[in-house]
Amino acid sequence: MRSHRIALCLCALTTTTVVACATSQQQPEKLAVPAAPVTSSSTSAPPTSSSSSSQPKPAPKTNPASGNLLKQVGETLTLYSRNASADGPGAVKITVNKISRGKPAYDKTPTVRVAMTVVTGNDQETNVEASQFVCGVMSSIDPDSGEQLSGRGGMMIEGRPPTVLGKDKTYTCTFDAEGLHDHGWLVLGNGASVHVDYPYDVR
């Protein structure tokens, strides 16, 4: 039975979540990590004609500044429960399509615009976990000082709030986030069991 905790007015699973990371042209490979969330990541190396089961799987890329999973804009993050698979019907596909300078707030505060696509599956608990990754739930890390800032809200330019993610739906959202650094790493998954960093610079 899964336990739950409350964060940012959203319910996030505290049980181990399985994460797969891949571009749209690549298939994720599973990597078991004892006593930690299981992750899998694709490699940019060209495929070989043969492989050995004794060969180690490539470790997922992490951000040395935070220890979080490190992804690039345009790459797809896949969430799925431990008893499911990355290509199963319960998996959720999350893609950060673009990070750019947003429209200044009414008080002239700079904003960071984040455009995303979220494709949900038929597992509602995984969809709840995915709600911690969508527009509006984000923070940033300064690459020089290591300071982490939580977004102070902002404006939804396109899409819907992240509080409800239905089964087997596709959501697109564009959000102008206030209170973030103008460069560094955008952090998604605040309150979730896995955090993911995306490098960006909108100076």
pLDDT (tens digit, 9 = 90+) per residue, 20-51? Answer: 544 444 444 333 322 333 334 433 333 333 33
Residue 21 identity (one-letter amino acid)? C
pLDDT (tens digit, 9 = 90+) per residue, 145-155? Answer: 999 998 888 88
Query: pLDDT value at position 17?
Result: 52
- Is pTM beyond 0.75? Reply is no
Burial 138-152 (b: 16+ CB within 10 A, else e): bbbbbeeeeebbebe
Query: pLDDT value at position 58?
Result: 61
Residues in the chain: 203
* Residues of the chain falling short of pLDDT 50: 1-16, 21-54
Candidates 14, 12, 57, 13; CA nearest to 33 is 57
- Cβ within 8 Å of residue 143, ≥6 positions away: 65, 183, 184, 185
Query: pLDDT value at position 136?
Result: 75
Measured at the CA of 71, the angle between CA 3 and CA 127, to 5 degrees, comes to 30
Residue 67 identity (one-letter amino acid)? G
Domains of the chain are: 16-41+60-201 (2.60.40.1240)
